[in-house]
Amino acid sequence: MGGFTSLTSRSVVLRQTNIDTDQIIPARFLSTTERAGLGKHAFNDWRWQAEGVPNPEFPFNQPHNADRAILLAGRNFGCGSSREHAPWALTDLGLRAVVSSEIADIFRNNSLKNGLVPIVLAEADVQALMERPDDALTVDVAARELRTPDGRVYPFPLDAFAQTCLIEGVDEMGYLLARQPEIERYESTLHAR
């Protein structure tokens, strides 16, 4: 990852609350040993009708939503299973940010590891943004704020480490591997417990 300083895009809206990772990608698509190519199954059971025909009502099937990189979602997005396949599927679909008034813990962690920015705003602010999905929103990771074309600014919380990872592409596994001396020192105390 890395190189994510800011992004400007219009949004796709899913108003539903408590969208769980089983909806983001149903379990029957987890029988894979790869990360790539899961976008076609994103929101599978809402997006495709039984015959494999697209559901025209579903936002991700509507032509005007193609190429939009920001998802505005109802409260408590990403609850349930820890499957990292969920952010893999969403980024494969072209998403780079999810905005909700609450984002589930494991999904938020998994998103940050895949260059998908989890943005938590007040419910009223999310609702206001949902009214105007055709506004090009700017997600400014460096400033930790989301801006609208008419000049509204919404600061969002983002852990300093996560921010550095998004911008500079810190390799988390590499970072942990570099802690080897501390890890060895810790392990040498273990038998004492």
Partner 1 sequence: MSSAPRTLFDKLWDAHVVVPESDTAPAVLYIDLHLIHEVTSPQAFTELASRGISPRRPDRTKATMDHSTPTLPAGPDGKLPYYTAAAEKQVETLERNCARYGIELFDMGSDHRGIVHVIAPEQGFTQPGMTIVCGDSHTSTHGAFGALAFGIGTSEVGHVLATQCLLQRKPKTMSITVDGPLAPGVGAKDVVLHIIGIIGVNGGTGHVLEFRGSTIAAMDMEQRMTLCNMSIEAGARAGMVAPDQVTFDYVAATPRGPKGESFEAAVAYWKTLASEPGARFDSEVVINAGDIRPTLTWGTHPGTAIAVDAPIPAANDAAAQKGLDYMRFGAGDTLEGKAVDVVFVGSCTNGRLRDMREVAQVLAGRRIAQGVRMLVVPGSEIVKRQAEAEGIDQIVRAAGAEWREPGCSMCIAMNGDLVAPGQLAVSTSNRNFEGRQGPGSRTLLASPLTAAWAAVQGKVGDVRDFFDAAAHKDVA
Residue (15 or 152) nearer to partner 1, CB: 15
Residue (33 or 134) nearer to partner 1, CB: 33
Rounded to whole angstroms, how far apart are CA atoms 70 and 73?
10
Q: Which residues bind partner 1 (CB under 8 A)?
A: 15-18, 20, 22-23, 26-28, 30-35, 45, 50, 74-76, 79-84, 102, 104-106, 109-110, 113-114, 159-161, 164, 172-173, 175-177, 179-180, 182-183, 186-187, 193
Q: In whole angstroms, how close is the CB of 8 to partner 1 at the nearest point? A: 27
Cα separations (Å) of 185 from 11, 190, 193? 48, 9, 14
Q: In whole angstroms, how close is the CB of 172 to partner 1 at the nearest point? A: 6
Q: In whole angstroms, how close is the CB of 151 to partner 1 at the nearest point? A: 30
Q: In whole angstroms, how close is the CB of 33 to partner 1 at the nearest point? A: 4
- Chain CA centroid to CA 105, Å: 11
Residue (153 or 177) nearer to partner 1, CB: 177
Which H or E element spans position 92?
Answer: helix 85-92
Return the sign of the alpha-carbon dihedral for residues 8, 14, 17, 20: negative
- Chain CA centroid to CA 50, Å: 27
Rounded to whole angstroms, how far apart are CA atoms 51 and 47?
11
Residue (137 or 165) nearer to partner 1, CB: 165
Residue (33 or 67) nearer to partner 1, CB: 33
Residue (131 or 193) nearer to partner 1, CB: 193
- Find the DSSP H helices in 25-68: 44-47
Q: In whole angstroms, how close is the CB of 182 to partner 1 at the nearest point? A: 5
Compute φ and ψ for 150, nearest 5 degrees: -90, 15
What's the residue count for the chain?
A: 193
Q: In whole angstroms, how close is the CB of 80 to partner 1 at the nearest point? A: 6
Q: Residue 193 contacts by C-beta under 8 Å, 6 or more apart in sequence?
A: none
